[in-house]
Amino acid sequence: MRNLLLVAALLCGVNFAHSQQIVPCYTDEVLQKKIESNPQLKDEFRQSRLTILESINPDQRGGATRIIPVVFHIIHAGGSENISKDQILDQMRILNEDFSRTNPDTSLTRNIFKPVAGNPDIEFRLAQKDPEGNCTDGIVRVYSTQTTGADDNAKLLSSWPRNKYLNVWVVRSIDADGQGVILGYAQLPGFGDAETDGVIVRHDVVGTIGSANPSFKNAGRTLTHEVGHWLGLLHTFQGGCGGGFGEGISDTPPIAQATTGCDTTQNTCSNDNPDLPDQIENYMDYSDGVCQNMFSQGQVDVMDGVLGGFRSNLITSGNLEATGTDGTPADTCIPVANFYTTYKVTCVGDDITFHDDTYNGVPDTYSWSFAGGNPASSSDESPTVQFSQPGFHDVSLTVSNTSGSDTRTETDYIYVFPTDATVSSWIYVEDFEGSNPNSEDWVVINNEGLGSGWQQVSTAFSGSKGMKLNNHSGNPGGAIDDLILPPIDFTQFGSASLTFKVANAQRPGGTFSSPSSDNLRVYVSTNCGTSWQLRYNKSGSNLATVSSTNSAFTPNSESQWREETVNVSSYLGREHVLIRFEARSDGGNNIYLDDINLSGPTSVMDNDDIVKLSLVPNPAHNQVRLSFDIKDRTTMKGEIIDITGRNVLTVFNTTQLQGPQTFDINTQNLAKGMYYVRLTGLNTQYVEKLILN
C-alpha cells in the first residue's frame, strides 16, 4: 500500500488535460468543486479516504460472492435517453462480467499484469422490491427537462436509500461546465449527501445496444469505471509520477496522466521500481473501454474494505431479502402508471401526443381520460389529442395486467393557449397588479411538481404586487418553475425590446454550490410551445442584485432591483409569440420579478411639443393631477389606457392653449393596477405610466 499522502495529491488537483473533447469521467472535478465551495468538506473527504485505506486487510475476504442491489433511475424528456430495459440488462451483463473477471477479453491482459489481475467477486442484481417493499423491476422512469445538462440536481428527482441500493441515474447529457462531453461521474464512499450517492451516466454509454454510441469506444465500461469509484477506487493516474503514491495501490504502476486510446507501448513514469509500462487495461484509467479488461488485486482489496465498511449493509442477507435480490423468484409486478408529453403547453386545435411511460410491469390494457380533449378517452398506448378550450386540462391514465392496475391522474397537466394573440397592442406591460393568474394575464407551471412555484406577492418594484419564487424555504434544489406570458402579437410593435425588473440574493450555502447558484432564463416560442429559443440566462452572482445572506431575501428599496434587457427583435412580425421565464432552484434564495415591458413604436416617446409632464401622486389612489406645458396652441386628446391599449377614460379632447395645463383626474371607478396616460396631438404622442392602488 502506497503512502497515504495520496489524499493530498488528489486535493491538489488532477494531472490530466481537459483539451480533449470527450471527458470519460468527471468524478474528480465534481469532488473538487464541492470542496472549493465548502472547505469543511476537505476534512470529511480526507477522513473518508484514510478510513478506507486503513481498513484494508487482504486476508479478510472469503466466502460467497457479494451481491449488490441496483436501481436505474431513467431521467428523460421523451428522447433516446429513455432507454429500454434490454439496454439496461445488457449493461448489467457487462458489470457482472467485469466484477467477476469473467469478461471475454481477459485474454487481452498483458502477461506482465496477469499475476496481479484480481477478481472482485461481486454480482449486481436489479432490485425486485422498492424501499417500501413493493414489487419492482429495478427501473424508475421520471420525465424531466433536467435530463439535459444534468448534475446532482437531477438525482433529487428520484433517489433510493444508499444503504440498500446502488443508485444509477441515466440522463441525456451531463453539465460539462465548458469542459467537453462528460460520460459520467460517481460519488465516493463515505463522502457527500445520501440523496446524491451513486453513479450518473449518459444514456449513450449504457451497455452496447439501443442508444449506446459505438464512437465512444467505451464498450459499456463507463459504468464499470464509475462503480469502481463508488466502491472506493481512484484513478490509476492519480498523483501522476510524483513520489510514487498514485492512488494508493501498489500493483497499479504510476501513470503521468490519463491515457487516451489503446497504446500498449506507453510508459509515462519510468522512475518507478520496478519500471513497468502503463496499465492501460485497468478499468480505472481513461483508455478506451474496448481495451480495458481488469482490476488489480490491490484495487480488489480496496473494494473489499469498502464493502466491509462504508457500504457493508448493502451485501447483508437482511438487505438482500428486503430488496428482493436474495434469489427468490421475481413476481409479476403491478405496472406503475406513468406518462409524459414532450411539452406542457399547446394551442387550441393543435395535436399533442401523450406517451405511455409505464414501468415496473408490462400493461395489458390502457385507459386514458382527457378533460376537454378530443378524444375525451382512449385505449391506445400513446394517443394524440386536441383541446378546444383554452386553460388547464387534467389527464389520467389507468394501466393494468394480471397482477393488478394503477392510475395516475395529473391535475392541470397541460395548458392550452388560444390560437389568437391575447395581447394585440402597440405596447405591452405586465406589472402583476391584476388578479388573473393562469388566465389572460400569466400562466404558472410547476414542471417537476416540486416546491411552491411562482406566487403573486405584495412585494414589487412599482405598484403593490410582484411575483416571487421562494427558493429559500419553499423550493428544493432542482425545482424548475415557469411563468409564461399570454400570446403576444409582435406585428403591432415598432421595436421589440423586452425589459423586466429582477431582485435576488445568493445564499452562502446552496443545495449544490456555495454560495448558491439559482438560475433564471427567458425563452421565446413562436409555435405554441413546441420549441423554445433561449434569450437570457443568468445565475449565481450574475443574477444576484444584493450581497448574499442566509436570511430569506425580500427587496426593501428600488436599489435592490435591477432592470434587465432582452433582445427579441428577431420576432418582429410574428403574430403569436410566447415568452417564458424559467427559474431553476439551487435551494438558494428568493427571486422576484416585476414590470415586464415590451417596447412599442418609437413615436411613443416623441414629445417635442410637450414639456414638464407630471402625474402627482403616482402611485395614485382616487385622484391624480396631470400637469404639462405645450409650446403652441394645438388640438389634443388626453386619455387613460390600460396595458392592452384600450381607452378606459378620456380626460380631454379639445384645443389647448400655449402654456401650462392642469387636469385633476378622478380615478375612483378604475380598478387597481397599471395604466398609461396618453397625450396625442397633431405632431405629438406622449405616454406616461400611472399606477393606481
Predicted confidence band of residue 440 (pLDDT cuts 50, 70, 90): low
Q: In the predicted model, what is the mean pLDDT of residues 387-414?
A: 95
pLDDT, one tens digit per residue, over 555-593 is: 999 999 999 999 998 998 899 999 999 999 888 999 999
Give the CA-trace dihedral at 91, 97, 103, 106, to 10 degrees.
Answer: 130
Whether the predicted pLDDT of 454 surpasses 90: yes
pTM here is 0.76
Whether the predicted pLDDT of 273 surpasses 50: yes
* Complete DSSP assignment for 451-477: S--EEEES--SSSS-EEEE-TTTTS-T
Phi, psi of 108 (to 5 degrees): -85, -5
Q: Which CATH number applies to 603-692: 3.30.310.50, 3.40.50.720, 2.60.40.3080, 3.40.630.30?
A: 2.60.40.3080
CATH, range 6-323: 3.40.390.10
pLDDT, one tens digit per residue, over 243-269 is: 433 466 889 988 888 888 999 999 998
Q: What integer pLDDT is reported at residue 12 of this predicted model?
A: 44
Could you tell me whether strands 66-76 and 166-171 are parallel, antiparallel, or unpaired per DSSP bridges? parallel
Of how many residues is the chain composed? 693
Predicted confidence band of residue 422 (pLDDT cuts 50, 70, 90): confident
Asked if residues 359 and 334 have their Cβ atoms less than 8 Å apart, the reply is no
Q: What integer pLDDT is reported at residue 605 of this predicted model?
A: 40
Predicted confidence band of residue 333 (pLDDT cuts 50, 70, 90): very high
User: Of 81, 195, 226, 582, which residue is the catalytic one?
Assistant: 226
Q: Which CATH number applies to 428-598: 3.10.20.600, 2.60.120.200, 3.20.20.100, 1.10.3720.10?
A: 2.60.120.200
Q: What integer pLDDT is reported at residue 9 of this predicted model?
A: 45
Whether the predicted pLDDT of 550 surpasses 50: yes
| Whole-number Å distance between alpha carbons of 654 and 650 | 11
Q: Please state which of the ranges 22-36, 242-256, 525-539, 608-622 shows the lowest mean pLDDT.
A: 242-256
Q: In the predicted model, what is the mean pLDDT of residues 263-277?
A: 84
Q: Please state which of the ranges 106-110, 158-162, 327-331, 403-407 shows the lowest mean pLDDT.
A: 327-331
Q: What integer pLDDT is reported at residue 13 of this predicted model?
A: 42
Name the CA radius of gyration of the chain, rounded: 31
Q: In the predicted model, what is the mean pLDDT of residues 547-554?
A: 96
Q: What integer pLDDT is reported at residue 133 of this predicted model?
A: 94
Residues 6+ apart with CB under 8 A from 436: none
Whether the predicted pLDDT of 327 surpasses 90: yes
Whether the predicted pLDDT of 634 surpasses 80: no
pLDDT, one tens digit per residue, over 195-212 is: 999 999 999 999 999 999
Phi, psi of 406 (to 5 degrees): -150, 145
Q: Please state which of the ranges 120-124, 127-131, 306-310, 685-689 shows the lowest mean pLDDT.
A: 685-689
Q: In the predicted model, what is the mean pLDDT of residues 156-173?
A: 96
135 vs 64, higher pLDDT: 135
Residues 6+ apart with CB under 8 A from 574: 490, 491, 526
Query: And the C-alpha cell for 328?
Result: 427468490
| Whole-number Å distance between alpha carbons of 513 and 507 | 9
Q: What integer pLDDT is reported at residue 614 of this predicted model?
A: 85
> DSSP label at 552?
P
At 297, is the secondary structure helix, strand, or coil?
A: helix
Residues 6+ apart with CB under 8 A from 392: 411, 412, 413, 414, 415, 416, 438
Q: In the predicted model, what is the mean pLDDT of residues 363-368?
A: 97
Q: Please state which of the ranges 3-7, 49-53, 637-641 shows the lowest mean pLDDT.
A: 3-7
Whether the predicted pLDDT of 519 surpasses 60: yes
Predicted confidence band of residue 655 (pLDDT cuts 50, 70, 90): confident
Q: What topology is assigned to 339-417 in CATH? A: Immunoglobulin-like (2.60.40)
* Residue 281 known to be catalytic: no
* Complete DSSP assignment for 300-324: HHHHHHHHTTTTGGGGSHHHHHHHT
Type and span of the H or E element at 626 = strand 623-630
> DSSP label at 26?
-
In CATH terms, are 339-417 and 603-692 the same topology? Answer: yes
Quick one: residue 372, left, alpha or beta (phi over 0 = left, psi -120 to 50 = alpha)? left
Q: What integer pLDDT is reported at residue 59 of this predicted model?
A: 74
Query: And the C-alpha cell for 394?
Result: 387534467
Sign (positive/negative) of CA torsion 566, 569, 571, 575?
positive
Whether the predicted pLDDT of 80 surpasses 70: yes
Quote the percentage of the chain above a pLDDT of 70: 90
Predicted confidence band of residue 608 (pLDDT cuts 50, 70, 90): low
* Angle between helix 221-230 and helix 85-98 axes, rounded to 10 deg: 60
Taking CB atoms within 8 Å and a gap of at least 24, the contacts of 646-651 are 646/425, 648/675, 651/626, 651/677
Query: And the C-alpha cell for 521?
Result: 432564463
Give the CA-trace dihedral at 247, 249, 253, 254, to 10 degrees.
Answer: 20
Predicted confidence band of residue 493 (pLDDT cuts 50, 70, 90): confident
Q: Where are the domains of the chain?
A: 6-323, 339-417, 428-598, 603-692
Number of other CB atoms surrounding residue 480 within 10 Å: 22
Whether the predicted pLDDT of 27 surpasses 60: yes
Whether the predicted pLDDT of 1 surpasses 70: no
Asked if residues 247 and 3 have their Cβ atoms less than 8 Å apart, the reply is no
At 567, is the secondary structure helix, strand, or coil?
A: strand
Q: What integer pLDDT is reported at residue 566 of this predicted model?
A: 95
* Angle between helix 40-54 and helix 297-307 axes, rounded to 10 deg: 110
Mean pLDDT of all residues belonging to the chain: 88
Whether the predicted pLDDT of 5 surpasses 50: no
Q: Quick one: 573 exposed, middle or buried, by C-beta within 10 A (0-12, 13-18, 19+)?
A: exposed
| Whole-number Å distance between alpha carbons of 626 and 678 | 11
Q: Where are the beta strands (DSSP E) in 485-525?
A: 497-504, 519-525
| Whole-number Å distance between alpha carbons of 106 and 123 | 18
Whether the predicted pLDDT of 271 surpasses 80: no
Whether the predicted pLDDT of 335 surpasses 90: yes
